[in-house]
Copies of this chain bind each other. A is one copy, B any other.
C-alpha cells in the first residue's frame, strides 16, 4: 500500500478507538455588553476553534485578582450570556483566587475578578472557575464509545507521563467535534503534546 493510504487508514483506526486530547489554556468568555465596555465593540474573530462556531477573538484582556494578574489573556467568542474566566489551579495561586472545579456555565457563587481591555475595565462578581475535565463527543462517537451525555468515565492518556484521569464528564452534542479537554495542570501532569490521544475507560 502507498504510504499515504497507510497513514489515512491508521488515522481512521485511531479515530475509532481513541479520542484526541486538547489542552485549554486560560481564557475568558464575556457578554456582548462587557465586550463593548472592554473594547468599544463586540468580539471580532481571529481564528476558528476546534468546536464548531467558536472562535478566538482578536481582543485580549488582563485578568486581575487580589495577588496578581495575567496580561494578554485569550477571549473566546461568540459573546455569551454570562462572563466566565477559566483558569488552572496553578493560575489561581498567581491571582490569589481559588477557583472551584466546575463544568462550563456553572459559575454560581464562584469568585470574581477584574477584566481590563483597551477601552475599560469590568469587575465581574463571579465567574472564575477551573474547568472540570470533560470530553466533547459528537453523538456518533458517543454511540461508538457506548457512553451518554453527562456520564462520568475514566480516561487513559497515551502521553509522555501516562495517567488515568478519573471523574471525566462526557458531554454529547451534534455541535461538538469529539475531543478531550484538559486544562494545563492536567496536560502538563500527563506530559501532553499536541496530537496525543486518550482512551475512554467506562
Contacts and interface: CB of A to CB of B under 8 A. Distances in A.
A189 B191 contact: no
A166 B184 CA distance: 18
Contacts of A132: 161
Contact of A167 (B161, B166, B184, B188): B161
Contacts of A166: 161-164
Contacts of A167: 161-162
A163 B160 contact: no
Contacts of A161: 101, 132-133, 165-167
A202 B199 CA distance: 21
A90 B185 contact: yes
A150 to B, nearest CB: 17
A152 to B, nearest CB: 11
Interface of A: 88-90, 101, 132-133, 154, 160-167, 184-186, 188-191
